[in-house]
Homo-oligomer: A and B are copies of this chain.
Amino acid sequence: MNKPARKSRSGARRSVTIKDVARYAGVSPMTVSRVVNGGQYVSDATRQTVMQAVRQLGYSPNLAARNLASARGERMGLLYGNPSASYLSEFLVGALDAATRHGVQLVLEKCEMTPAASRRAVRRLVAGGVVGVVLPPPLCESAVIRAELQAARMRIVAVAAARPPADVMCVSIDDFAAAREMTRYLLALGHTRLGFIKGHPNQTASEERWRGFTAAVQEHGNLPAPRVEQGFFTFRSGLDAARKLLSGEPLPSAIFASNDDMAAAVMAEAHRRALEVPNDLTVVGFDDSLIAANIWPGLTTIHQPIAQMAGEAVDMLVASVRGGKRGALAEPVHRLVAHELVTRESAARPKSTTA
């Protein structure tokens, strides 16, 4: 029964392992592991030595092994429906980045908003061994999907749901405050005849934005009643709303659309009517989506740190899953992140202030 020196399976040169580092540093693999994972109970001297060895050898832990040993490496789902879609890009970047950081795998799943499709998507997720799901808008608002997911005992983090149910985790901006801030900005510019295009009624963010708008209007007081149209977050719906807003008299001097796509539509319609933006009409949006900087004039809008939000969502998911394993499942968190008013060229003082 002779023991072969080392049955290296694939002839290829193995990468440096924790044992190599341990040998090099003159400690046990365990100690290296502790250092690498920032564990406690390691003396400073040892830590230094080990870190030195790590650097020297260019050691990078094997994710697969680590995941296997620590029963980590869970799969997280990202169920995306049909987000404003420029949204998705940033969202994915942020989510993927966080996933890499935590060493979890991110599984994408597309899903239409019909009950049947939701069910199918959730089933695929479950089959894929996913233990938690990030829900970007607009899926985060779908009660059906949430129910399906909860039935499958998945943890959920909704992103950008302005008023999530109490029992799901959520990360979002303060839509109310943001819309109020934008409206205050318009008022500060001197606008008095305001137009507002509401967002899709099935999203709670829409209502928050609307509430923020009216709050600012009311606190200013002494304004003609704003003209309001219903929109649905699509370019098309924005166009319809814009036509209505721009046909009556008196024309609004500033229009606040509940997202950028609709704001872009307002600008298109304004141009068609030979109204110059921002000289004849101020247009502002919400989201700071891709289109905002890619039209002319650039759109003044509210920026959401989408990537950051997606990242935090994944963080929360991981924390929940790992924490939950140890029994300590904290109550659902609702994390607010900071938004930012981005000024570009589409907003200016009104041409002739009647005030």
Contacts and interface: CB of A to CB of B under 8 A. Distances in A.
Interface residues on A, range: 35 or more
A68 interface: yes
A65 to B, nearest CB: 5
Interface in A32-90: 58, 60, 62-68, 71-73, 75, 85-89
B89 A96 contact: no
A334 to B, nearest CB: 27
A106 B268 CA distance: 39
A261 interface: yes
A294 interface: yes
Interface stretch (A9-17, A139-147, A172-180, A183-191): A9-17
A271 interface: yes
Main secondary structure of the interface of A (DSSP, over half): helix
Given A65-B68, A271-B268, A108 B96 contact: yes
Interface in A184-213: none
Contact of A235 (B58, B128, B296): B296
A64 to B, nearest CB: 4
Contact of A89 (B12, B71, B92, B106): B92
A290 to B, nearest CB: 6
A22 interface: no
A127 interface: yes
A271 B72 CA distance: 56
A158 interface: no
A297 B173 CA distance: 33
A105 interface: yes
Contacts of A268: 271, 295-296
A257 interface: no
Nearest to A110: B93
A274 interface: yes
Contacts of A239: 296
Contacts of A85: 86, 89, 290
A73 B68 contact: no
A323 interface: no
Contacts of A107: 100
Contact of A73 (B58, B64, B296): B64
A272 interface: yes
A9 B325 CA distance: 12
Interface of A: 9-10, 12, 15, 58, 60, 62-68, 71-73, 75, 85-89, 92-93, 96-97, 100, 105-108, 110, 127-129, 235, 239, 261, 264-265, 268, 271-272, 274, 290-291, 293-296, 325
Given A86-B86, A268-B295, 5 more contacts: A9-B71, A68-B68, A88-B89, A92-B93, A97-B108
28 contacts: A10-B71, A10-B325, A12-B71, A12-B325, A60-B127, A63-B64, A63-B105, A64-B65, A64-B68, A64-B72, A65-B68, A68-B68, A85-B290, A88-B93, A89-B92, A96-B108, A105-B105, A235-B293, A235-B295, A261-B294, A264-B294, A268-B271, A268-B296, A271-B271, A271-B272, A290-B290, A291-B291, A291-B294
